[in-house]
Amino acid sequence: MEKLISKEISAKDAGRRLGDYLKTEMELTKAQIRRLKYQENALRVNGCQERVTCLLKEGDLLEVLIKNSRDAEEKLVPVEGDLDILYEDEDVICIWKPAGIVVHPVGCHKEDSISNYLTAYFRKKNEMVQIRSIGRLDKDTSGVLVFAKNRIAAARLWAQKEQGIFQKEYLAVCEGSFAPEEYETEQTIDMPIGKCRDYPGKMCIDPDGKRAVTHYLAIKGGKVRLRLETGRTHQIRVHMEWAGHPLAGDPLYGNGVRGKTQTALCAYKAEFLQPFSHDRIQVTEDRLKEQL
């Protein structure tokens, strides 16, 4: 799949070098520009391939062709599977992930991940898409997953995550009793998370771990709405256990039984800016609100 971006050069940008325009006006990184330099016909002015040193003139038509690498696509085995597509445009696709399915191939799940299914979906459409997940969800967590379709879209969405523009909200059912202030005001947990030395596969509060920030608000019963500033492994599960409110059914951090119960957690909303048009996109899935 290729993406063509066209720009007409205005009077204020006349006389600028193409490389400078790509960096400041089109917000491409040095690495992205370097890649485009060595791709045939990736940088064209008035239909002719040009170098980044080219001086632009008013009225010039600049065309930037973004190509995906087939090598990256072929690393994933295409497998037909059910996909619940919530939103799609030429740069982004949002999927609803049920609990029990992994995002990427791992361990014994080599060919039954969301990524395998997406590869088959795009192969069937004859689109060469270099899918990149913007964050991920644990196997037992359901919710909205966002994938970029090309390298530049992925870089811009990750930058949005770092800047706090890309936001996800979660719903969960927690154990324990909530204090009145936890219903009235959003609470913040700012505690570092690291790997548990004595329990492989489990995370814990660790003074030497990475900073992790979770905001939560109790809404009714044991239901909680959460949003994250960081994206550490098992962050919500670790933080809510630390706060005395482990997630219901959690077999690792709560009172659930491994293999018999599922964690009551879903990522029900994702909000971000379209990587190129900067339109605000909000993808919300309410199907689990009644269960949670």
- The beta strand positions in the chain, using DSSP E, are 2-8, 43-45, 48-49, 61-67, 84-88, 92-97, 132-133, 142-148, 167-173, 187-190, 193-195, 203-205, 213-220, 223-228, 265-273, 280-284
**Measured distance CA(154)–CA(151) in Å, rounded:** 5
Structure tokens at 204: 């814990």
- Let me know if 286 is a catalytic residue: no
Angle, to 10 degrees, between the axis of helix 30-37 and the axis of helix 151-163? 180
Residue in 13, 138, 140, 250 annotated catalytic: 138
Per-residue H/E/C for 134-177: CCCCCCCCEEEEEEECCHHHHHHHHHHHHHCCCEEEEEEEECCC
Closest by alpha carbon to 122, among 148, 140, 160?
A: 148
Residues tagged active-site: 138
